[in-house]
Amino acid sequence: MQYKSLLSLILILSTVGLISAQDIAKGYVFEDRNANGKKERRENGIPGVSVTNGIDVVQTDQNGKYELTVSNDAIISVIKPSGYSINVSDDQLAQFYYIHKPQGSPESEFKGVAPTGKLPRQLNFGLSATDDTDEFTSLIFGDPQPYNLQEVDYFARGIVSELKNTENVAFGLSLGDLVGDDLSLFNPYISAVKEVGIPWFNVLGNHDLNFDAKEDHLSDETFEAHFGPANYAFNYGKVHFIVLDDVLYPDPRDGKGYWGGFREDQLEFVKNDLKFVPKDHLIVLAFHIPISEPGGDSFKDKSREALFDLLKDYPHTLSLSAHTHIQRQDFMDQNTGWKQVKPHHHYNVGTTSGDWYSGTLDENGIPISIMRDGTPKGYAYIHFKGNTYEVNYKVAGKDAEYQMNIFAPKVVEKDKRTKAGIYVNFFIGSENDTLEYRIDNGSWKPMRYVLEQDPSYEALVYERDLSETLLSGRRSSNPIVSKHLWKGVIDTKLPVGEHKIEIRATDMYGNTHSGSSSYRIDSFN
């Protein structure tokens, strides 16, 4: 009997402790007419707006009021509805959250959140009404990932400088690895990106972690101190964006390194969030590690399966990742766990750091940093119209029309068979696209999609290896198979002289892109 009484007492105390560790956040989501962040009497609440504690999602009532249970380690955030904008800081970071950590973050090598104390009596979120349309554009960065201030400078001059004071773009989003392990570089990164001049959102990457954390939920404390929640959502037009931290650290399998995947509380957040999203809206998910390799070792299969279960009733979806420092388009069908007939499009975006700031220095002293699959460093624009979208990749430092690189021999012998070919790396392409070529205004012929290394990138790497003098910059990574490479045949039966090569590429959206090059036919006679 004494044992049962003691057990009952422990259960009661545990329950009391659990209750005392909870609090109620309450307040209003309101129309902030003067954009000062404070709710004033004449500023009305906005009904039907979602608010979350990172797991639960509630909606404001007819007066714009909400109540939400929170723990002593929570971030309360508003899920921006369409037709409204969020206030931004002087650094252009979206201000849509409140951090509630009464004791602050645990001690760590890099500073986390300072103690926040008790919840305010009212926790209000101000939004500004906008002339929202169903057509808008977002700007996407993959892996800025500077490891030092020199590389922050490369990022600022090589990427941000050509985007300064961007117009007609709704917001920007960086897909993780904002820095390279040194979290003191968060502030220099923020200072660089703010020059783009548009509201900016950020994803947590595996190089943005507190590596001395013993539990995954504590590995993003410094990220939270600078950027807010690692899991959140927002709306523009008929598009619902869900941002998730998909880096499990330490790896739950052995406590070493990291693994791609989600915790149960993150999946619960997605489930609760989607309850308030119309089925005909486009769902765009953004994370760092690609989800598109079922059966591989980089991502937890059960996490992917659980996420796909939650999305099974949403026919319009897109997911974004970075991490790999290459670029590719993946289409996941029922054979790879997708629950719908129409495949899911996963876009693994090329990076702003390219191949980790490697390669020869250009005329401005910035590494050319072409990626291992032959994709030049750059960034993506996604153009949304209703629940549809188109993706465009912009190569840094080049005209927007530069969408492919053509490799062909400089000279071939007349009438002699050759194993040399015309290779085209269509940076945004996939196996589903159509590439054609013609020589000297002849008839258009189809190119063959091939899984090979890009010979132009191979030449770039091995030029350094074969050089008898030192070259500027750092050696690039070894080549890998490109997922957007096509090949055509060299015609050696044409007359001696220069011959023009023209390329026509039709992408998945029906847009046509072009490029040109040439080769020479010569003879020993």
Distance (Å, rounded) from C-alpha 204 to C-alpha 229? Answer: 9
295 pLDDT more than 60: yes
- C-alpha angle with apex 441: 436 to 442, nearest 5 degrees? 70
Query: Which pLDDT tens digit goes with each residue over 459-509?
Result: 999 999 999 999 999 999 999 999 999 999 999 999 999 999 999 999 999
**Which CATH number covers residue 78?**
2.60.40.10
274 pLDDT more than 90: yes
Domain boundary among 100, 115, 140: 100
Residue, of 518 and 3, whose pLDDT is higher: 518
- Tell me if 233 is assigned to some domain: no
- Tell me if 151 is assigned to some domain: no
Do 490 and 412 form a contact (C-beta atoms < 8 A)? yes
34 pLDDT more than 90: no
Using CB atoms within 10 A of its CB, is residue 435 exposed (0-12), middle (13-18) or buried (19+)? buried
- Tell me if 140 is assigned to some domain: no
Distance (Å, rounded) from C-alpha 151 to C-alpha 434? Answer: 37
The total domain count for the chain is: 2
Query: Which pLDDT tens digit goes with each residue over 120-140?
Result: 999 999 999 998 789 999 999
Distance (Å, rounded) from C-alpha 126 to C-alpha 331? Answer: 39
- Tell me if 319 is assigned to some domain: no
Residue 315 DSSP SS3: coil
Query: Which pLDDT tens digit goes with each residue over 48-96?
Result: 999 999 999 999 999 999 999 999 999 999 999 999 999 999 999 999 9
Lowest-pLDDT range, 11-25, 182-196, 219-233, 299-313? 11-25
Query: Which pLDDT tens digit goes with each residue over 320-349?
Result: 999 999 999 999 999 999 999 999 999 999
Query: Which pLDDT tens digit goes with each residue over 482-491?
Result: 999 999 999 9
State which residues form the domain around 67: 20-100
- The per-residue pLDDT for 22 is 72
pLDDT band per the 50, 70, 90 thresholds, residue 21: low
- Tell me if 203 is assigned to some domain: no
- The per-residue pLDDT for 36 is 87
Distance (Å, rounded) from C-alpha 520 to C-alpha 447? Answer: 20
18 pLDDT more than 50: no
Backbone angles phi, psi at 47, to 5 degrees: -75, 155
280 pLDDT more than 50: yes
Query: Which pLDDT tens digit goes with each residue over 43-52?
Result: 999 999 999 9
- Tell me if 258 is assigned to some domain: no
158 pLDDT more than 90: yes
